[in-house]
Amino acid sequence: MRKRMRTTAVAAVAVGLSVALAAPAVAAPGGSGAGDTGDHRATRRAVQAAVAGGVPGVTVRADDRRGAWTTTAGVGDLRTERKRSPQDRYRVGSITKTFVATVLLQLEAEGKLSLDDTVDTWLPGLVTGNGHDGTRITLRQLLNHTSGVFNYTADEDFGRTYFLKEGFFEHRYDTLAPEELVRIATSHEPDFAPGAGWNYSNTNYVLAGMVIEKATGRPYGEEVRRRVIAPLHLTGTSVPGTRTGVPGPSSRAYGKLTRDGSGPVHDVTRLNPSMAFSAGEMISDSKDLGRFYRALLTGRLLPREQLDEMTDTVAVDARNGYGLGLMKTELSCGVTVWGHGGGIHGSASEAVTTEDGRHSLAFNFNGDWSGDPGAVIEAEYCGD
């Protein structure tokens, strides 16, 4: 994966096998405004442009001082031409990472672990081989992607097996243990020595989920439900484990399953998300995602000390920084938003909010080969 964060919608499954389950979009340049565009007309046009450019359908929700606003464009089912719904649930890919980081930070606040603990303290002997050394990597370095641990989704065999047509239809229902995903990563050399660089790696969050399980004695998904989903009443949000479907209301998800995004469209809705585990398996909807990020940034989920840790970012490029499962982006009009994005087969999602929680945006494309999520974010916060 390139060190600069890139739009997941274009390449989550096709071009960039290493980006699958991966990174937030970089906001597209252009636009001017003050972060509150009022009538959302620019956002509506950006959504319609995404559909005109090839995305089957889009669902969007924004919450600001005027209340909730929703819109949809395109279809949720190419066969029946059923429209997308504002209530659609969808796979959120790497937005899962913010939930996982939140739970780890809660455990730190409770004194159950320290982010300065090494990975080997909790998972002895797991991260080793080809230069990987879990005794030198801290939990903090996992969460901000400075560990150097190789990204397992960048492995060519993994990509052919789970992201390209010839492998996907044969293996879409495979159950993969997180230990297997880590072994794929450690079969490669690390990207760099711990703390010596920044590179987005899904393996970091597979390990983070495993640490949660070791520290609590419960599945990481149970901790996410108990600590975040239930307290915030996120009724559309779930951690599916090995369940292959998406609960309704929902739309179909579509992918090309090719390296260059060419070829016919395939329905890729059903799959076993254990291939993503705590790096990207969760399902949610736009209402819940907005509520989650607003609650997080306004201190409802973490004490001040842990929220400060989460929002202490590593520079990714001139406009983007990565904290602990949370990305900071400065838009072209000077507005700063916090959130995350995620791509997984047939689904590209974004959820962001202003730091004060007063203006949030969450949306989903139900196709993974086209569209510019950054343009939708710019339109909502910066207008024309």
CB 251 within 8 A of CB 76: yes
- For helices 286-297 and 96-109, the axis angle rounded to 10 degrees is 30
CB 280 within 8 A of CB 94: yes
Using alpha carbons only, what angle is made at residue 373 by residues 205 and 94, rounded to the nearest 5 degrees? 10
94 included as an active-site residue: yes
**Burial class of residue 85 in the structure, from the number of CB atoms within 10 Å of its CB (0-12 exposed, 13-18 middle, 19+ buried):** middle
CB 182 within 8 A of CB 142: no
Q: Which residues contact 3 (CB under 8 A, 6 or more apart)?
A: 197, 198, 199, 316
CB 359 within 8 A of CB 381: yes
Per annotation, catalytic residue among 18, 94, 250, 274: 94
The token duo for 311 is 């929002």
Q: Which residues contact 297 (CB under 8 A, 6 or more apart)?
A: 307, 338, 353, 354, 355, 356, 357
The token duo for 357 is 């929680």
Active site residues per annotation: 94
